[in-house]
Structure 1
Amino acid sequence: MKKILKLDYLLLLPLFITCTLGIIMMYSASSIVAVQHYGYNSRHFVDSQLTKLLLGTIGLIVCALLPYEIWKKRIVSICIMVGGIFLLIMVLWKGKVVNNAQSWIFGIQPAEFLKLGTILVTARFFALRQEQAKNSWSGIGKLVLFLATIFFLIFKQPNLGSALLILSIGFSIFLCSGININLLIKRTTIGSILWLPILYYLIQYSLSEVQKTRITTIFNPFVDAQGNGYQLVNSFIAIGSGGITGRGFGNSIQKTGYLPEPHTDFIMAIVSEELGFIGVFIILAGVLIIVLRSLKIAQLCVDPFGSFIAIGIGCMIGMQSVVNLGGITGLFPLTGTPFPFVSFGGSSLMVNLIAIGILINISIFNKIKFDNLNI
């Protein structure tokens, strides 16, 4: 009962609004595609998303009630690292190919779950360093090896977007860990020089033709508007035609065959077309509040482990939002990164909801700790 009273409603309210709008727009954006591919069942995608929403909500509740300190146990980190690498190897061996990427196995995308796994492992590593008053680079090799391994395995799917996001999440926690800045500058300079040949190799020889095309297309998609720039051009049309209030719910033209798979990466373009700037603003405001609340929880948390987890979750949700919006507006290459809580994608939705559950537990811990200090 005490935990229920301590729930973080500043986190739950924007989450509820964003998820509700996400399901509504999922139905609108996916209904025509569902009818075309699944025997006139216009609810195919939204029913699937609702199932994942239910599972994710159960995960949220469990993680909100489960003491977050359990994730700090050494055995948990070992299971995440070994299990994550094993699943990624299985994906490359027996995984299902969807949209030119071999990212699926057992009906899930392991790369999505490893985003949260990376947060937990990295947070534990730097929390232990703070508790032991270490400010050196000793022992960091194991963490770097883990991150490099999952980056390589996800990159080979190929899923460059998730691979870079995982590295960025780990680096964000690293920057907030209180590491010696002088050491950081020296090691970064040396590391950059050493990584340049590897980076050149990855760009020149390891990127698939689809990935190279996505990178070059953003410079001028109109040069090949009926080919490689087709998705981006139609995304521009959807966003531009919505205006302030949009065409109205269900009235999108671009979802009728012009914008392929409008319920996935490009769902925010459909939101813009149907609900206009107002609809986009409400969703972005909801996500921004969640991110800012995450960082506030991190700031208030007296436990380094909880603080680093909150930072990682806030960065994960924020980065995914920025990368998705950057992709549909031509600022970044298209990477297949879903928009949190809105885009179709069960793995992404469940991971984000579970992450919010952990965040709620950290917030409850903060409030109970604060109350005890003021008794």
Structure 2
Amino acid sequence: MIQRIQFDRLLLTLVLGLFLFGSASMYSASTTVAEQEYHDSNYYLKKHMRNTLVAVVVFIFFSSFNHQNFRKLAKPILAIAVIALIVVIAQHRINHIPRPARWLSLWGFSIQVSDLARLAFIIFLADALHSKQPRIEDFKQTMLPLFLVTAVICGLVVIEPDLSSSVMIMAVAIAMFFMGNVKLSHISGFLAIAGSGAMITAWVTPYMRQRILTFFDSSRDVTHAGYQIHQSLVTLAHGGMNGVGLGDSFGKALYLPEPHTDFVFAIIGEEWGFIGAFVLLTIFILIFLRGMRIARNSPDIYSMLLAEGLSLSFFLYALANVAVVVDLIPTTGLPLPLVSYGGSNLMITAAMLGILFNIAGTNGTGVPNKKVTGSLSELYES
């Protein structure tokens, strides 16, 4: 199962560049908050370094693990994710915890269960769509069960409550259905039902409804509900074309809430300017396009859908985060992959990228691709 594979040098360069750029920006954005909360401006950097070490191990494992073997594990992995979702929801209800039930503590690390569910679901759906290709047009026997599984996963994530992550999972599922040759009429019907359910849920849930109302009129109360978005836009605008310089942000000085997590892109825009923000977005786009090319070169539908699902999920999270910061969509709470502070998302992102590297290095077959020079083991030994 563990193998020496060839690595995609361009993808590796892009990912490392994004991670280093993101780490520097996250550290800069976190110093003031860390000093106020823990009297140590390096607090979040230290935790980030610890998380990074674990993430590297996760990446090495998943990049060396034959992704074809996940087909045998797809259902058990999804079952574990479902159980984890049920456990955190039950803990929330039984213990009357006021905050959303999204985290599960394991071995000193807090894992956001919706992230685990997202990865597990992508693996499951890629395998299911591959296996059911001969009967893909049969709604009752093939698509209805897959639609129900999708609805259950998204429904459990909504109950946490975490509508934003649920919408992301649903979006990836819809895209994978489309790329997996599912009939457009089936997808359209499912999308109509799922979309209606999401809108109703958002409106009847107080905090979600508040976010929507604030989005449509964020200027109505910039001292309360609209404060974060207002400060985000002010912070971005302050950066201008060239930025104020790394470490010289005004927004991070307790004006902008969550400057090192959900709104780190605003700090990047302020310190690095429009040029730096544009470069960051370009890297995300290039990683996505590279992932889609890896998918296109895969020899089977499973590998193709797995690569597409992972690449799209990575890109959609980045897109949603940036869209919130520039006030294009309501606040979601979704992180910027490899940039925002957070151990859980970093681990899952490392796993997703590791699988993508394995697909690229084996042309989707599980057999090392000899057309690409260099190996991951050379990288590890250097």
Is the pair's TM-score, using the shorter chain for normalization, greater than 0.5? yes
Alpha-carbon distance in 2 for matches of 1:190, 1:216: 28
Q: Secondary structure at the match of 1:245?
A: coil
1:93, distance to aligned residue in structure 2 (A): 2.1
Alpha-carbon distance in 2 for matches of 1:97, 1:319: 33
**Is 1:83 equivalent to 2:45 in the alignment?**
no
1:204, distance to aligned residue in structure 2 (A): 3.8
- Aligned partner of 2:125 among 122, 142, 146: 122
Q: Partner letter of residue 310 of structure 1?
A: A
Alpha-carbon distance in 1 for matches of 2:259, 2:242: 19
Contact 1:8-1:363 at 8 Å conserved across structures: yes
Alignment of 1:130-149 (within 5 A): 130=133, 132=134, 134-137=136-139, 138-149=141-152
1:370, distance to aligned residue in structure 2 (A): 6.8
- Aligned partner of 2:293 among 296, 317, 334: 296
Alignment of 1:202-213 (within 5 A): 202-205=201-204, 207=205, 209-213=206-210
**Is 1:305 equivalent to 2:302 in the alignment?**
yes
Give the corresponding residue for 1:224: 221
Give the corresponding residue for 1:278: 275
Q: Among the aligned pairs, what percent are the same residue?
A: 29
**Is 1:32 equivalent to 2:32 in the alignment?**
yes
1:239, distance to aligned residue in structure 2 (A): 0.6
- Aligned partner of 1:248 among 245, 248, 268: 245
1:94, distance to aligned residue in structure 2 (A): 2.1
RMSD, aligned CA: 2.3
Q: Secondary structure at the match of 2:22?
A: helix
Give the corresponding residue for 1:173: 176
User: Residues 329, 193 of structure 1: CA spacing in aligned structure 2 closer, same or farther, 3 A cutoff?
Assistant: closer
**Is 1:329 equivalent to 2:323 in the alignment?**
no
Alpha-carbon distance in 2 for matches of 1:191, 1:311: 20
User: Residues 195, 111 of structure 1: CA spacing in aligned structure 2 closer, same or farther, 3 A cutoff?
Assistant: closer
Give the corresponding residue for 1:344: 341
Contact 1:265-1:338 at 8 Å conserved across structures: yes
1:134, distance to aligned residue in structure 2 (A): 4.1
User: Residues 11, 257 of structure 1: CA spacing in aligned structure 2 closer, same or farther, 3 A cutoff?
Assistant: same
Q: Secondary structure at the match of 1:254?
A: coil
Contact 1:57-1:354 at 8 Å conserved across structures: no
TM-score normalised to structure 2 length: 0.88
Contact 1:34-1:42 at 8 Å conserved across structures: yes
User: Residues 199, 159 of structure 1: CA spacing in aligned structure 2 closer, same or farther, 3 A cutoff?
Assistant: closer
Q: Partner letter of residue 135 of structure 1?
A: E
Q: Secondary structure at the match of 1:255?
A: coil
User: Residues 123, 113 of structure 1: CA spacing in aligned structure 2 closer, same or farther, 3 A cutoff?
Assistant: same
**Is 1:94 equivalent to 2:91 in the alignment?**
yes
User: Residues 345, 77 of structure 1: CA spacing in aligned structure 2 closer, same or farther, 3 A cutoff?
Assistant: same
**Is 1:55 equivalent to 2:58 in the alignment?**
no
Alignment of 1:144-155 (within 5 A): 144-155=147-158
Give the corresponding residue for 1:356: 353
User: Residues 276, 195 of structure 1: CA spacing in aligned structure 2 closer, same or farther, 3 A cutoff?
Assistant: closer
Contact 1:97-1:103 at 8 Å conserved across structures: no
Alpha-carbon distance in 1 for matches of 2:8, 2:18: 16
Alpha-carbon distance in 2 for matches of 1:31, 1:97: 33
Contact 1:136-1:179 at 8 Å conserved across structures: no
Alpha-carbon distance in 1 for matches of 2:354, 2:194: 37
Structure 1: runs of 5 or more not aligned = none
1:102, distance to aligned residue in structure 2 (A): 2.1
User: Residues 279, 175 of structure 1: CA spacing in aligned structure 2 closer, same or farther, 3 A cutoff?
Assistant: same
Return 308-317 or 358-367, whichever deviates more: 358-367
Alpha-carbon distance in 1 for matches of 2:27, 2:294: 33
TM-score normalised to structure 1 length: 0.90
Q: Deviations over 1:194-238 (max 9, x none)?
A: 668745642443x2x221111111222111111100000000011
Give the corresponding residue for 2:9: 9
Q: Secondary structure at the match of 2:101?
A: strand
Q: Deviations over 1:70-107 (max 9, x none)?
A: 1111xx12222221111111111225999942211211
Alpha-carbon distance in 1 for matches of 2:362, 2:96: 42
1:53, distance to aligned residue in structure 2 (A): 1.7
Alignment: residue pair count: 360
1:344, distance to aligned residue in structure 2 (A): 1.0
